[in-house]
Structure 1
Amino acid sequence: MLTPKTSVVSLFLFYSLLDDLNLIMIQKYEMSIVVKDQIRTIIEELKSLRSFLEDMEVQKHPELEGFLIQTSDIAYEVLYILTSYAPVWYLNLRLPQVMEKIKLIRLALEKLNKYPTEKVSSQDEKPLEDIVVDFHADANRIAGMLKDFENSSQKAPFIEEDISVGLDDEANEITEILLGNQKEQQIISIWGMPGLGKTTLAKKIFSDDRIVQHFHIRISCVISQTYDKKNTLIAILTSMSSLERDELSQLDEDTLGGKLYQSLCGEEIRYIIILDDIWEDVWSDLHRYFPENQSGSRILFTTRFQKIGFQASDKSIVRNLRFLTNDEYWKLLQIKVFQDVPCPLELVDIGKKIARNCDGLPLAVVVIAAVLANMKKNKTKWEEVAVSLSSYISNDNSCMKILELSYSYLPMHLKPCFLYFGAFKEDREIPVQKLISLWVAEGFVEKVKQKNSNSVSYGYLTDLISRGLVQVGKRRSNGGVKTCYVHYLLHEMCLTIAEKDNFMKVIKG
């Protein structure tokens, strides 16, 4: 559940909060007329700040977030007053104090935006830093760079998330093993550190035409650290049959396992199962449901741990996924930023430097490339990104810091939408309709004339996908996104930032 005092804010959250205050005011029949008038005045004053804040957003002003935090805090304070049933004497003391806070914010906004300053008494004068959040120097630099983002309607074109570079040789070699003549069931394990491209490689193999034609049944299932046996069995069964999840959820684990075994049993059935992000003890828990029918069936693991493949079978083939070369990193970055257009010569050297600084991980290249794709493509701006990257990779956990840098570059309205992915289980595909309905309910989505909220929300989602932060799970027949998910490293980042900024707290049970 979202917490009220969060530093993850947007204009839409602020507007939604003001709407809530208006609705509560309508329902407060027992409140005295005098108090109601004071609160109405406060709400109107908060609304009057909108034009200042909207101008700052258009200008990508680095201090917008600080002012939004201040104004949202006041709105939450009014919400508390409205719902606390405080006595009249307390309200008569508190409400004028709230009004004074709004005056001070207005004064600071007018000074900052160089608007004509209202006549304010000397006792109201306070240093600007008492009103505006004191940003760290690094945060100021990053926020300043946000000015160079294009309007959301001019974002970089949609970039398919499954573009792979440097994996063709590995994919072909593993595919040849899977297509081999060995009749007994065979296990192949691909291991490597997070963000190296194991899932991308597995997807590439899974969709290879030779694999599609060779195997009668193909199943792909994400396991992850939050492994749940029953949910895993349900996911596998729904992926290979017309059975509905609701129907299967009524069955116990033994019955589900029996159904899976019977579906794969038979001398003529040749199946391939891809278990993505497998952890310890999972295979020992599941292997009994995959019959060894001597028909050339295959099990493909992706895992973060070398030993898991060896533990699964003494005949397992264990492959360590290599790091990309510097040339491959540069090629990947070019594809993500420019697609089929050549990189301008003035950006080649600095682009190669940025690619090298991505901690050796394709995931880091992808998210930083998305940052570059959504800002002006000139040498000065790219050098600023390179400097930011250099300062981040000096940290021990440089990969996570690089991912956090990509979050810092998000437009303000996308930040709460992205962090909300932390509320879902790691590596789970999320139905898009469910996701955008929740975004709307939480007040994350702008109200746009002649556009329904679902349409605006879907635009937010495609923007996050184009930035490499969200991946497509399944598509609809018309090409639209049916399900989506975030990489487990990005999921971890969502939880970290959400808790740090008091956006939400996920309780694991």
Structure 2
Amino acid sequence: MDFLLENLKELPSCEVGSIAFAKDQIQTIREDLASLRSLMEISVDQSNQALRRRVMEAAHKTQLTVKSLFIGDIPDFRSPIIFDSIREELKEINLSKMEAMNICDNKYRLEAHSVSRTTNKVRVRLEDEATIIHKLTRGQKQLGFVSIVGMPGIGKTTLAQNVYDDPSIRCVFHIRAWCAVSQLYQHKDVLLQILSCIDPDLFEDQLQRKKHHSGDEYSKKNEDELEEKLKQRLMKIRYLIVLDDVWSSEAWNALERSFPDNANGSRILLTSRLPMVALEINQNVTIHHLQRLTDKESWELLQKKLPEEKGFPLAHSDLGMQIARHCQGLPLTIVTVAGILARLEKDDGWIEVAERLSLSAVCATDQCMDVLELSYQHLPEYLKPCFLYFAAFPEDREIPSWRLMSLWIAEGFVQESEIKSLEDVAEEYIYELTSRSLVMVSKERSLGGVRTCRIHDLLHEFCLVKAQKENFLQFLHGDDKLFTFDEPRNLQRLCIFSGQDIFADSRLCSTRVNSLMFYAQEDEMLRSGFPKFLFLFFKRLRVLDLRQFCLHGELPSEIELLSELRYLAIHLSANSIPSSVGNLSH
């Protein structure tokens, strides 16, 4: 909204004829939208959510109309009725504004806090950690398997990470490697993750673990070659491989031949929601069932996650214990609730959270999703799109902070500041989401700051559902979907998962999309054809992420037709780029 208002403010000075003619109408609409800006920051009940959606739809429609004027898609630009429907809608919304503001007065206020720069890992019991370390470092010499099993959000990955980083584990195992498998995985990607841990110096960009990189020795190899290379690197070495978030034995069946049994105490550590997965992988696996926290442990964790600088309010002790008990011993629920409570100023806010949790008679996982919804509704309006944007990335992947911030800025999510750069403001957004226990810091920079980050798979699932429900982001999975795509109304962002040849030949058409991100479903070699339909049917693109589209040859000069482009990522094998790229003013 802020980004649109700023653009509308600058448009009257534009010399383009169609814009110059409509400047009075644009200025009027800008004033109407500015008067409704306060609605984006008020309470979170259902009626106001609907009202805010109407404001955002009107803003989006304004943006589309102005862009159409700018690029000449509206022939009769002198018609006085171009913006009439938008103005009528804004008038109706304004009539409801006072009611919304009255509702806002009855809600608790969110307290501004300094940004916490912690990683916000959930709690694991020391005895669990000691047990896993003992099972990995003692016992038989043959290749052994240990599996951490438990419900979502109970701390399986955190426990595995603590064990992985423990000094005693570092001493015992000559090689350690970590791999996030997840439900949707690609065999080559899994192999590259493991090899990047073993030989990080051979990966030009270890943090991104790019599947396709011309300077990367491993990414040029096929799967059979990578399997053999991994086997050679592990031969006669005591190794520990962590396979995180395994959903089926299929992933292991493809990897098994790469893990030699050196009879020296090597180990495979799995994490999974499903006990049967570990048994299917190896019948002699040692399974460690992770238990929920007790009421006492839940209460201790809740207190620990509240801001230290303020101290825990003694008046809330009984209420806090009640809230902790209602979290059903699930660490992810507890730390998420703590992120909400830390920003509530009035007692009424704590009471509302306690009542909402006590009304939930569902299983712990469903309750956790309810808590995530509550946490999302209490986010400031400027953070909501930033959080939902995590749905655009594959599950369980570390995201470089520079890439995330660049995308946020290109999308217009980051508010301008007189004293800070957009990058500094975007970094503050990451810290704020971290302090609310919604985002986890995976790696930190040597001089401080977030290097990579990720979100829990339950939060990723929440973002996927929420982003589609609010028409914030839509997904196309599979080649067939590209030919049957029916563009939803007010579609803004599109993520495509398909083969790149099918994508390039699909002639996909969407005149409204602002952002397009492509993910290749399988490993493919460089191709020569660029999807030129983008220049014809996606003229409003602000973000074009084709980093997994492998192009051999020149980038088409028609790229300059994407005049709104602010972010371009592509894997290109060429000696030069066309000079027309210089015409992309943004």
Q: TM-score normalised to the size of structure 1? A: 0.82
Flag the structure with more relative contact order, 1 or 2, with Cα contacts below 8 A and sequence separation at least 6: 1
* Structure 2 equivalent of residue 243 of structure 1: 202
Where do 1:168-179 residues align within 5 Å? 168-179=126-137
* Structure 2 equivalent of residue 115 of structure 1: none
Shift in Å, 1:348: 1.2
1:449 aligns with 2:448: no
Question: Structure 2: how far apart are the matches of 1:91 and 1:323?
Answer: 65
Matched residue type, 2:111:
E
Question: Structure 2: how far apart are the matches of 1:332 and 1:389?
Answer: 17
Corresponding residue to 2:79 among 64, 83, 91: 91
Structure 2 gap segments, 5+ residues each: 204-208, 479-586
Corresponding residue to 1:192 among 132, 150, 155: 150
* Structure 1 equivalent of residue 382 of structure 2: 413
Q: For the structure 1 residues 13 and 386, does the alpha-carbon distance in structure 2 shift closer, same or farther, using more than 3 Å as the test? A: farther
Question: Structure 2: how far apart are the matches of 1:274 and 1:75?
Answer: 47
Question: Structure 2: how far apart are the matches of 1:71 and 1:163?
Answer: 37
SS in 2 for 1:363: helix
Q: Is the 8 A contact 2:122 2:331 kept in 1?
A: no
1:262 aligns with 2:232: yes
Shift in Å, 1:95: 3.4
Where do 1:85-124 residues align within 5 Å? 85-86=73-74, 88=76, 91-103=79-91, 105=93, 109=97, 112=98
Where do 1:328-347 residues align within 5 Å? 328-339=297-308, 343-347=312-316
Where do 1:356-435 residues align within 5 Å? 356-376=325-345, 378-393=346-361, 397-435=366-404
SS in 1 for 2:145: strand
Identity score, percent: 36
1:161 aligns with 2:120: yes
Q: For the structure 1 residues 233 and 97, does the alpha-carbon distance in structure 2 shift closer, same or farther, using more than 3 Å as the test? A: closer
Question: Structure 1: how far apart are the matches of 2:311 and 2:93?
Answer: 48
Corresponding residue to 2:245 among 255, 273, 277: 277
Q: Is the 8 A contact 2:177 2:198 kept in 1?
A: yes
CA offsets, 1:390-438, max 9 Å, x none?
A: 3445589322112211111111110000000001001111111001100
* Structure 2 equivalent of residue 149 of structure 1: 110
Shift in Å, 1:79: 3.8
Shift in Å, 1:201: 0.7
* Structure 2 equivalent of residue 221 of structure 1: 179
Question: Structure 2: how far apart are the matches of 1:61 and 1:500?
Answer: 16
**Greater alpha carbon shift after TM alignment, 430-439 vs 468-477:** 468-477
* Structure 2 equivalent of residue 462 of structure 1: 431
Shift in Å, 1:91: 3.0
Q: For the structure 1 residues 402 and 40, does the alpha-carbon distance in structure 2 shift closer, same or farther, using more than 3 Å as the test? A: same
Matched residue type, 1:273:
I
Q: Is the 8 A contact 2:244 2:270 kept in 1?
A: yes
Question: Structure 1: how far apart are the matches of 2:266 and 2:245?
Answer: 20
Shift in Å, 1:489: 0.6
CA offsets, 1:191-247, max 9 Å, x none?
A: 111111100110111111111111111111111101211011111111121111521
Q: For the structure 1 residues 189 and 16, does the alpha-carbon distance in structure 2 shift closer, same or farther, using more than 3 Å as the test? A: farther
Q: Indicate the structure with greater strand content.
A: 2
**Greater alpha carbon shift after TM alignment, 389-398 vs 487-496:** 389-398
Shift in Å, 1:385: 1.3
Q: Is the 8 A contact 1:13 1:444 kept in 2?
A: yes
1:183 aligns with 2:141: yes
* Structure 2 equivalent of residue 321 of structure 1: 290
Q: For the structure 1 residues 28 and 144, does the alpha-carbon distance in structure 2 shift closer, same or farther, using more than 3 Å as the test? A: farther
CA offsets, 1:31-64, max 9 Å, x none?
A: 3xxx844x31232123324664455667769787
Q: For the structure 1 residues 61 and 488, does the alpha-carbon distance in structure 2 shift closer, same or farther, using more than 3 Å as the test? A: closer
Corresponding residue to 2:460 among 491, 495, 498: 491
SS in 2 for 1:148: coil
Q: Is the 8 A contact 2:148 2:271 kept in 1?
A: yes
Question: Structure 1: how far apart are the matches of 2:106 and 2:361?
Answer: 20
Q: Is the 8 A contact 1:46 1:71 kept in 2?
A: no
Question: Structure 2: how far apart are the matches of 1:487 and 1:508?
Answer: 22
Question: Structure 2: how far apart are the matches of 1:237 and 1:144?
Answer: 56
Matched residue type, 1:380:
D
* Structure 1 equivalent of residue 58 of structure 2: 74
Matched residue type, 1:22:
L
Question: Structure 1: how far apart are the matches of 2:169 and 2:96?
Answer: 64
* Structure 1 equivalent of residue 31 of structure 2: 48
Would you say how many aligned residue pairs link Structure 1 and Structure 2?
459
Q: For the structure 1 residues 186 and 61, does the alpha-carbon distance in structure 2 shift closer, same or farther, using more than 3 Å as the test? A: closer
Question: Structure 1: how far apart are the matches of 2:307 and 2:352?
Answer: 19
Matched residue type, 1:162:
K
SS in 1 for 2:475: coil
CA offsets, 1:115-165, max 9 Å, x none?
A: xxxxxxxxxxxxx7xxx79x9xxxx79x964x52123xx246334322524
Matched residue type, 2:5:
Y
1:295 aligns with 2:264: yes
* Structure 2 equivalent of residue 18 of structure 1: 8
Q: For the structure 1 residues 78 and 381, does the alpha-carbon distance in structure 2 shift closer, same or farther, using more than 3 Å as the test? A: closer
Q: For the structure 1 residues 12 and 250, does the alpha-carbon distance in structure 2 shift closer, same or farther, using more than 3 Å as the test? A: farther
Q: TM-score normalised to the size of structure 2? A: 0.72
Shift in Å, 1:339: 4.4
Question: Structure 2: how far apart are the matches of 1:451 and 1:277?
Answer: 39
Shift in Å, 1:450: 2.5
Q: Is the 8 A contact 2:115 2:431 kept in 1?
A: no
Question: Structure 2: how far apart are the matches of 1:451 and 1:302?
Answer: 42
Q: For the structure 1 residues 80 and 201, does the alpha-carbon distance in structure 2 shift closer, same or farther, using more than 3 Å as the test? A: closer
Q: Is the 8 A contact 1:393 1:401 kept in 2?
A: no
Shift in Å, 1:498: 0.7
Matched residue type, 2:194:
I
Question: Structure 1: how far apart are the matches of 2:54 and 2:42?
Answer: 19
* Structure 2 equivalent of residue 3 of structure 1: none
Where do 1:195-210 residues align within 5 Å? 195-210=153-168
**Greater alpha carbon shift after TM alignment, 216-225 vs 66-75:** 66-75
Shift in Å, 1:472: 1.2
* Structure 1 equivalent of residue 405 of structure 2: 436
SS in 2 for 1:301: strand
